């Protein structure tokens, strides 16, 4: 059915919503960057403002046909985000600190996961905030606490001119490994959310599929991609390199899903693979406008699903949300702080390394959204998770700056 101007009313509505999301995301990001805060927080809060509990611009109702369209655009934005993280993953640089960084990452994943898992299985909270069984929810809560935002930590270290230090190399190397481990955990958790039985054999199988796909895809891709994209780069048609890279990340994400893993693992693997080609700089530059359009949609959709009434401190029904969010934020910081002591035989600023691993940022939001869409988190628990993500994203950079000023760094050539 056409509107007065001859256009499909749904198309007109989509154009309007999409335009408002892009403008709100960019202007809010600008505001937060001027305030010295991560831009992702601006996009998240813009989504909350435009979401179902405030202005109701971004559709979230399951029966609204535009909801699925926005969800699909958010999925594309998420895949592009993971692809960009993969492009920034320098395997050679990681290899120089791979031993200590791996230990930092392992502690930074295991301790927060264990704290979140045990906390959710304990009687310290309201179980009705979950939609799934306690064991599956505990796995997802623990997985959410494992995340580390590479981008936020790197930005703080760059602003403090500390990227050349041992602490920076440990934190950034561990954060990348942490993200890979987190993606593997997420792949396992997603399989459980899809109905897989929670058994040692089932978890081991899901873990093997996730790790196996990532390793095999990267190994095979590094052999094929340099020649393939060298050939593509020699073609004359405009935009062929960008279109091929974009198609590559989408197809590898779809292949990961077909293999029984998570799509985001495939997108991340695509970035790692193309980081090893001679065209990586051109691909990075070409993908920036694509990311500028699609990635904010993901973060705004995350915020739109949040009901801000769950954060009202004067409402008795919100007390559980605030208490759980505060408890998870505390566990999130303490769990990552432990990673600073993972390499006792090396001399470095342990507080800086631990706090550098603490911000959840965009990675924590990925876990939260998947937990919600998979039917694991009830809206109130989702609100508690977002509260944890926001708290660590704001507090960790300030604490990291304090730790670097207090105990200094170890400078390495």
Residue spans per domain, the chain? 72-407
pLDDT of residue 413: 45
Per-residue pLDDT of the chain (413 residues; tens, 9 = 90+): 555 566 678 889 999 999 999 999 999 989 988 887 778 788 888 998 998 888 999 998 888 999 999 989 988 988 898 888 788 776 666 666 778 888 999 999 999 999 999 999 988 776 566 667 788 888 888 988 988 876 667 666 766 777 678 888 788 778 767 766 776 777 666 666 666 556 666 667 766 777 788 889 989 999 999 999 999 999 989 999 999 999 999 999 999 888 877 787 788 889 989 998 999 999 999 999 999 999 889 889 888 887 888 788 888 778 888 889 999 999 999 999 999 999 888 888 999 999 988 888 667 777 788 888 877 888 888 888 988 988 888 788 788 888 888 888 776 54
The DSSP 8-state label assigned to residue 411 in this structure reads B
Backbone region of residue 408 per phi and psi (left: phi > 0; alpha: psi in -120 to 50; beta: other values): left
Q: For residue 188, give both structure tokens.
A: 């396992």
Protein fold of 72-407: Na+/H+ antiporter like fold (1.20.1530)
Please state the φ and ψ torsions of residue 215, each to the nearest 5 degrees: -65, -50
**Which pairs count as long-range contacts for 133-139, CB under 8 Å and 24+ apart, including other chains?**
135/198, 136/189, 136/192, 136/193, 136/198, 136/376, 137/376, 137/377, 137/381, 139/188, 139/189, 139/192, 139/198
Looking at the chain, the number of H-run helices and the number of E-run strands are 16, 0
pLDDT of residue 2: 53
Q: For residue 257, give both structure tokens.
A: 């899903």
CB-based contact 109:183 (threshold 8 Å): no
Alpha carbons 201 and 33: distance in angstroms, whole number: 46
CB-based contact 391:329 (threshold 8 Å): yes
pLDDT of residue 4: 57
Only one residue has tokens 């306690």, namely 134
């Amino acid at each position: 059915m056409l509107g007065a101007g001859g256009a499909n009313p749904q198309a007109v509505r989509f154009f309007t919503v999409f335009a408002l999301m892009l403008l709100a995301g960019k202007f809010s990001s600008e505001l937060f960057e001027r305030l010295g805060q991560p831009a992702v927080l601006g996009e998240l809060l813009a989504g909350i403002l435009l979401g179902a509990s405030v202005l109701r611009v971004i559709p979230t109702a399951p029966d609204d046909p535009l909801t699925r369209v926005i969800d699909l655009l958010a999925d594309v934005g998420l895949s592009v985000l993971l692809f960009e993280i993969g492009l920034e993953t320098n395997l050679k640089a990681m290899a120089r600190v791979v031993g200590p960084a791996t230990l930092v990452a392992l502690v930074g994943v295991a301790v927060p996961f264990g704290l979140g898992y045990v906390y959710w299985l304990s009687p310290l909270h309201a179980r009705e905030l979950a939609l799934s069984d306690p064991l599956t929810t505990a796995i997802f809560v623990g997985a959410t606490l494992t995340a580390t935002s590479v981008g936020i930590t790197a930005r703080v270290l760059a602003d403090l001119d500390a990227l050349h230090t041992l602490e920076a190399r440990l934190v950034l190397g561990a954060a990348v490994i942490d993200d890979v481990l987190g993606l593997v955990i997420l792949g396992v958790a997603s399989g459980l959310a899809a109905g897989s039985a929670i058994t040692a054999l089932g978890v081991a199988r899901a873990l093997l599929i996730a790790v196996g796909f990532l390793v095999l895809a990267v190994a095979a891709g590094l052999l094929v991609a340099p020649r393939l994209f060298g050939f593509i780069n020699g073609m004359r048609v405009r935009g062929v390199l960008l279109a091929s890279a974009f198609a590559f990340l989408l197809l590898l994400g779809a292949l990961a899903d077909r293999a029984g893993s998570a799509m985001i693992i495939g997108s991340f693997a695509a970035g790692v693979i193309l980081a090893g080609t001679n065209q990586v700089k051109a691909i990075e530059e070409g993908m920036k406008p694509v990311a500028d359009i699609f990635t904010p949609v993901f973060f705004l959709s995350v915020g739109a699903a949040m009901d801000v009434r769950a954060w009202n401190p004067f409402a008795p029904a919100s007390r559980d949300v605030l208490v759980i969010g505060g408890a998870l934020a505390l566990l999130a910081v303490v769990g990552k702080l432990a990673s600073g002591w993972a390499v006792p035989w090396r001399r470095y600023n342990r507080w800086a390394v631990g706090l550098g691993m603490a911000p959840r940022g965009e990675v924590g939001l990925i876990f939260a959204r998947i937990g919600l869409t998979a039917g694991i988190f009830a809206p109130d628990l989702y609100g508690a998770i977002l509260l944890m993500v926001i708290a660590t994203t704001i507090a960790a950079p300030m604490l990291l700056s304090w730790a670097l000023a207090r105990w200094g760094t170890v400078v390495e050539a």
